[in-house]
Protein backbone atom coordinates (compact mmCIF):
# COMPACT_ATOMS: atom_id res chain seq x y z
CA UNK A 1 0.00 0.00 0.00
CA UNK A 2 1.45 3.35 -0.98
CA UNK A 3 -1.46 5.64 -0.27
CA UNK A 4 -1.12 9.33 0.50
CA UNK A 5 -1.42 9.75 4.24
CA UNK A 6 -1.52 13.55 4.23
CA UNK A 7 -4.55 14.74 6.19
CA UNK A 8 -6.90 17.35 4.78
CA UNK A 9 -7.90 20.25 7.00
CA UNK A 10 -10.45 22.99 6.13
CA UNK A 11 -9.03 25.66 3.83
CA UNK A 12 -11.93 28.08 4.36
CA UNK A 13 -10.70 31.69 4.11
CA UNK A 14 -7.15 30.79 3.08
CA UNK A 15 -5.53 32.72 0.19
CA UNK A 16 -5.11 31.29 -3.33
CA UNK A 17 -1.74 29.54 -3.52
CA UNK A 18 -1.57 27.70 -6.86
CA UNK A 19 0.96 24.99 -7.68
CA UNK A 20 2.09 23.86 -11.15
CA UNK A 21 0.14 21.08 -12.89
CA UNK A 22 2.08 19.47 -15.77
CA UNK A 23 0.73 15.99 -16.54
CA UNK A 24 2.45 14.34 -19.51
CA UNK A 25 0.27 14.73 -22.60
CA UNK A 26 -1.10 11.43 -23.88
CA UNK A 27 -0.53 10.88 -27.61
CA UNK A 28 -3.83 11.10 -29.54
CA UNK A 29 -3.52 7.52 -30.80
CA UNK A 30 -3.31 6.21 -27.26
CA UNK A 31 -6.22 8.44 -26.18
CA UNK A 32 -8.36 7.01 -28.95
CA UNK A 33 -7.53 3.45 -28.03
CA UNK A 34 -8.12 4.02 -24.31
CA UNK A 35 -11.39 5.90 -24.89
CA UNK A 36 -12.75 3.14 -27.13
CA UNK A 37 -11.75 0.46 -24.63
CA UNK A 38 -13.29 2.38 -21.72
CA UNK A 39 -16.51 2.93 -23.64
CA UNK A 40 -16.75 -0.81 -24.24
CA UNK A 41 -15.92 -1.69 -20.62
CA UNK A 42 -18.41 0.82 -19.24
CA UNK A 43 -21.14 -0.45 -21.54
CA UNK A 44 -20.68 -3.86 -19.89
CA UNK A 45 -21.68 -2.47 -16.48
CA UNK A 46 -25.06 -3.60 -15.25
CA UNK A 47 -26.96 -2.80 -12.12
CA UNK A 48 -27.11 -6.08 -10.22
CA UNK A 49 -29.83 -7.11 -7.78
CA UNK A 50 -28.86 -10.76 -7.32
CA UNK A 51 -25.57 -11.08 -5.48
CA UNK A 52 -23.40 -14.03 -4.59
CA UNK A 53 -22.53 -14.23 -0.89
CA UNK A 54 -18.85 -14.71 -1.86
CA UNK A 55 -16.60 -12.19 -0.12
CA UNK A 56 -14.94 -9.46 -2.16
CA UNK A 57 -11.38 -8.24 -1.60
CA UNK A 58 -11.94 -5.39 0.88
CA UNK A 59 -8.95 -3.47 -0.42
CA UNK A 60 -10.64 -3.24 -3.84
CA UNK A 61 -13.68 -1.63 -2.20
CA UNK A 62 -11.49 0.76 -0.19
CA UNK A 63 -9.57 1.72 -3.34
CA UNK A 64 -12.86 2.35 -5.17
CA UNK A 65 -14.01 4.59 -2.31
CA UNK A 66 -10.67 6.40 -2.48
CA UNK A 67 -11.30 6.88 -6.24
CA UNK A 68 -14.76 8.30 -5.48
CA UNK A 69 -13.23 10.68 -2.98
CA UNK A 70 -11.09 12.21 -5.76
CA UNK A 71 -14.31 13.66 -7.27
CA UNK A 72 -14.52 17.40 -7.85
CA UNK A 73 -16.81 19.13 -5.37
CA UNK A 74 -18.31 22.55 -4.75
CA UNK A 75 -15.56 24.80 -3.29
CA UNK A 76 -13.54 21.58 -2.89
CA UNK A 77 -15.46 20.92 0.32
CA UNK A 78 -15.67 17.17 -0.34
CA UNK A 79 -19.06 16.90 1.38
CA UNK A 80 -19.25 13.11 1.57
CA UNK A 81 -18.85 10.25 4.00
CA UNK A 82 -18.75 6.62 2.86
CA UNK A 83 -19.75 4.05 5.47
CA UNK A 84 -18.56 0.56 4.57
CA UNK A 85 -20.88 -1.89 6.30
CA UNK A 86 -19.34 -5.33 6.64
CA UNK A 87 -21.15 -6.49 9.80
CA UNK A 88 -23.99 -8.84 8.72
CA UNK A 89 -26.08 -7.86 11.77
CA UNK A 90 -26.04 -4.19 10.70
CA UNK A 91 -26.92 -5.20 7.13
CA UNK A 92 -29.90 -7.16 8.53
CA UNK A 93 -31.09 -4.07 10.39
CA UNK A 94 -30.72 -1.91 7.29
CA UNK A 95 -32.63 -4.43 5.19
CA UNK A 96 -35.47 -4.71 7.71
CA UNK A 97 -35.86 -0.94 7.92
CA UNK A 98 -35.54 -0.47 4.14
CA UNK A 99 -38.13 -3.16 3.41
CA UNK A 100 -40.53 -1.58 5.89
CA UNK A 101 -40.36 1.69 3.93
CA UNK A 102 -40.41 0.00 0.53
CA UNK A 103 -43.57 -1.96 1.38
CA UNK A 104 -45.37 1.32 2.00
CA UNK A 105 -43.89 2.71 -1.23
CA UNK A 106 -44.87 -0.23 -3.43
CA UNK A 107 -48.31 -0.53 -1.83
CA UNK A 108 -49.26 2.97 -2.89
CA UNK A 109 -46.86 5.74 -1.90
CA UNK A 110 -45.11 5.63 -5.28
CA UNK A 111 -48.34 6.00 -7.29
CA UNK A 112 -49.37 4.28 -10.52
CA UNK A 113 -47.20 6.26 -12.91
CA UNK A 114 -44.04 5.50 -10.94
CA UNK A 115 -44.94 1.82 -10.58
CA UNK A 116 -45.47 1.60 -14.34
CA UNK A 117 -42.05 3.15 -14.93
CA UNK A 118 -40.51 0.52 -12.65
CA UNK A 119 -42.42 -2.49 -14.04
CA UNK A 120 -39.88 -3.35 -16.80
CA UNK A 121 -37.13 -3.37 -14.20
CA UNK A 122 -38.81 -6.01 -12.04
CA UNK A 123 -38.14 -4.25 -8.73
CA UNK A 124 -40.23 -4.85 -5.63
CA UNK A 125 -40.15 -4.26 -1.88
CA UNK A 126 -38.01 -7.34 -1.14
CA UNK A 127 -34.39 -6.26 -0.83
CA UNK A 128 -32.38 -9.48 -0.56
CA UNK A 129 -29.36 -7.69 -2.03
CA UNK A 130 -28.97 -5.72 1.21
CA UNK A 131 -28.06 -8.89 3.08
CA UNK A 132 -26.73 -11.12 0.25
CA UNK A 133 -24.03 -8.75 -0.98
CA UNK A 134 -20.92 -9.08 1.18
CA UNK A 135 -20.38 -5.33 1.44
CA UNK A 136 -22.65 -2.34 1.64
CA UNK A 137 -21.48 1.21 1.09
CA UNK A 138 -23.82 3.82 2.54
CA UNK A 139 -23.01 7.22 1.09
CA UNK A 140 -23.86 10.25 3.19
CA UNK A 141 -23.85 13.85 2.11
CA UNK A 142 -22.66 16.44 4.59
CA UNK A 143 -25.29 19.13 4.28
CA UNK A 144 -23.05 21.61 6.18
CA UNK A 145 -19.86 21.53 8.24
CA UNK A 146 -19.35 22.40 11.84
CA UNK A 147 -16.51 24.71 12.90
CA UNK A 148 -14.49 23.91 16.01
CA UNK A 149 -16.77 26.22 18.02
CA UNK A 150 -19.86 24.38 16.73
CA UNK A 151 -20.95 27.03 14.21
CA UNK A 152 -22.61 25.71 11.06
CA UNK A 153 -20.93 26.57 7.74
CA UNK A 154 -22.46 26.11 4.29
CA UNK A 155 -21.46 23.41 1.85
CA UNK A 156 -22.10 24.24 -1.79
CA UNK A 157 -23.54 22.04 -4.58
CA UNK A 158 -23.80 19.08 -2.23
CA UNK A 159 -26.17 17.00 -4.42
CA UNK A 160 -24.04 17.55 -7.50
CA UNK A 161 -20.77 16.82 -5.70
CA UNK A 162 -21.97 13.62 -4.06
CA UNK A 163 -23.68 12.51 -7.29
CA UNK A 164 -20.41 12.87 -9.18
CA UNK A 165 -18.56 10.95 -6.45
CA UNK A 166 -21.09 8.11 -6.62
CA UNK A 167 -20.66 7.97 -10.41
CA UNK A 168 -16.93 7.65 -9.95
CA UNK A 169 -17.45 5.00 -7.27
CA UNK A 170 -19.63 2.90 -9.61
CA UNK A 171 -17.06 3.21 -12.39
CA UNK A 172 -14.20 2.23 -10.08
CA UNK A 173 -16.07 -0.78 -8.71
CA UNK A 174 -17.07 -1.97 -12.17
CA UNK A 175 -13.61 -1.52 -13.69
CA UNK A 176 -12.18 -3.43 -10.71
CA UNK A 177 -14.46 -6.38 -11.44
CA UNK A 178 -17.19 -5.85 -8.84
CA UNK A 179 -20.92 -5.40 -9.31
CA UNK A 180 -23.07 -2.85 -7.52
CA UNK A 181 -26.52 -1.35 -7.23
CA UNK A 182 -27.56 2.15 -6.29
CA UNK A 183 -30.44 1.70 -3.90
CA UNK A 184 -32.32 4.72 -2.58
CA UNK A 185 -34.89 3.59 -0.05
CA UNK A 186 -37.19 6.47 0.63
CA UNK A 187 -37.30 8.01 3.16
CA UNK A 188 -33.73 7.22 4.20
CA UNK A 189 -33.56 8.86 7.61
CA UNK A 190 -33.28 5.46 9.32
CA UNK A 191 -29.77 5.02 7.88
CA UNK A 192 -28.39 7.90 9.93
CA UNK A 193 -29.86 6.34 13.06
CA UNK A 194 -28.71 2.77 12.35
CA UNK A 195 -25.19 3.94 11.47
CA UNK A 196 -25.01 6.57 14.19
CA UNK A 197 -24.08 9.44 11.87
CA UNK A 198 -23.82 13.05 13.03
CA UNK A 199 -26.65 15.52 12.46
CA UNK A 200 -24.97 17.29 9.52
CA UNK A 201 -25.06 14.08 7.44
CA UNK A 202 -27.96 12.86 5.34
CA UNK A 203 -28.05 9.47 3.57
CA UNK A 204 -27.73 9.74 -0.21
CA UNK A 205 -27.62 6.11 -1.40
CA UNK A 206 -27.07 2.54 -0.27
CA UNK A 207 -24.74 0.62 -2.57
CA UNK A 208 -24.51 -3.15 -2.18
CA UNK A 209 -21.24 -4.45 -3.65
CA UNK A 210 -20.27 -7.98 -4.58
CA UNK A 211 -20.16 -10.51 -7.38
CA UNK A 212 -23.28 -11.35 -9.36
CA UNK A 213 -24.98 -14.57 -8.21
CA UNK A 214 -24.47 -17.55 -10.52
CA UNK A 215 -28.14 -17.34 -11.54
CA UNK A 216 -28.13 -13.53 -11.69
CA UNK A 217 -30.63 -11.99 -14.09
CA UNK A 218 -30.92 -8.39 -15.21
CA UNK A 219 -33.62 -6.56 -17.16
CA UNK A 220 -33.24 -6.64 -20.94
CA UNK A 221 -32.34 -2.96 -21.25
CA UNK A 222 -31.37 -0.92 -24.29
CA UNK A 223 -29.30 2.21 -23.71
CA UNK A 224 -29.91 5.39 -25.65
CA UNK A 225 -27.54 5.57 -28.61
CA UNK A 226 -24.91 8.29 -28.73
CA UNK A 227 -26.86 10.26 -31.32
CA UNK A 228 -29.85 10.24 -28.95
CA UNK A 229 -27.89 11.77 -26.11
CA UNK A 230 -25.30 13.93 -27.85
CA UNK A 231 -25.95 17.27 -29.51
CA UNK A 232 -22.99 18.82 -31.30
CA UNK A 233 -23.23 22.46 -32.30
N1 LIG B 1 -36.63 2.93 -4.10
C2 LIG B 1 -37.47 1.86 -4.61
C3 LIG B 1 -38.13 2.20 -5.91
C4 LIG B 1 -37.23 2.42 -7.07
C5 LIG B 1 -37.22 3.66 -7.65
C6 LIG B 1 -36.49 3.89 -8.77
I7 LIG B 1 -36.60 5.70 -9.67
C8 LIG B 1 -35.71 2.86 -9.34
O9 LIG B 1 -34.97 3.09 -10.48
C10 LIG B 1 -35.73 1.61 -8.76
C11 LIG B 1 -36.48 1.39 -7.61
C12 LIG B 1 -36.66 0.56 -4.69
O13 LIG B 1 -35.48 0.56 -4.43
O14 LIG B 1 -37.24 -0.47 -5.00
**Is 123 domain-assigned?**
yes
Across the range 14-20, mean pLDDT stands at 98
Whether 118 lines ligand 1, by a CB cut-off of 6 Å, is yes
Count the alpha carbons within 13 Å of 107 in the hemisphere toward its beta carbon: 7
* pLDDT above 80: residue 1: no
CB neighbourhood size of 129 (10 A): 23
Whether 208 lines ligand 1, by a CB cut-off of 6 Å, is no
**How far does residue 216's CA lie from ligand 1's centre (Å)?**
19
Quote the percentage of the chain above a pLDDT of 70: 98
Whether 200 lines ligand 1, by a CB cut-off of 6 Å, is no
* pLDDT above 80: residue 16: yes
**Is 191 domain-assigned?**
yes
**Is 34 domain-assigned?**
no
* pLDDT above 90: residue 226: yes
Whether 79 lines ligand 1, by a CB cut-off of 6 Å, is no
Question: pTM here?
Answer: 0.96
Q: Quick check: 115 and 186 in contact, CB under 8 A?
A: no
Q: How many domains does the chain divide into?
A: 1
Whether 123 lines ligand 1, by a CB cut-off of 6 Å, is yes
Across the range 209-213, mean pLDDT stands at 98
**Is 30 domain-assigned?**
no
Q: What is the pLDDT of residues 118-164, one digit of tens each?
A: 999 999 999 999 999 999 999 999 999 998 898 999 999 999 999 99
Calpha distance 8→215 (Å, rounded): 44
* pLDDT above 70: residue 102: yes
pLDDT of residue 98: 96
**Is 74 domain-assigned?**
yes
**Is 21 domain-assigned?**
no
Whichever domain contains 81, its CATH number is: 3.40.109.10
Range of the domain at 64: 43-229
* pLDDT above 90: residue 26: yes
Across the range 174-179, mean pLDDT stands at 98
* pLDDT above 60: residue 210: yes
**Is 22 domain-assigned?**
no
Whole-angstrom distance between the N-terminal and C-terminal Cα of the chain?
46
**How far does residue 171's CA lie from ligand 1's centre (Å)?**
20
**How far does residue 194's CA lie from ligand 1's centre (Å)?**
21
**Is 38 domain-assigned?**
no
Protein residue with least CA distance to atom 1, ligand 1: 185
Q: What is the pLDDT of residues 47-100, one digit of tens each?
A: 999 999 999 999 999 999 999 999 999 999 999 999 999 999 999 999 999 999
Protein residue with least CA distance to atom 12, ligand 1: 185
Q: Relative to the CA of 186, which ligand 1 atom is closest?
A: 1
Amino acid sequence: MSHTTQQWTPTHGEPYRPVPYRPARMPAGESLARAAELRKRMDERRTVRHFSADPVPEEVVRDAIACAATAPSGAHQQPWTFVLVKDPAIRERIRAAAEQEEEISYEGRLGDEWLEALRPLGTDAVKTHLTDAPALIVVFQQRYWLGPDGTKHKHYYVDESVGIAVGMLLSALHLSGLAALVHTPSPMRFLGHVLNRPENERAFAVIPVGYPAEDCQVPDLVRKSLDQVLVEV
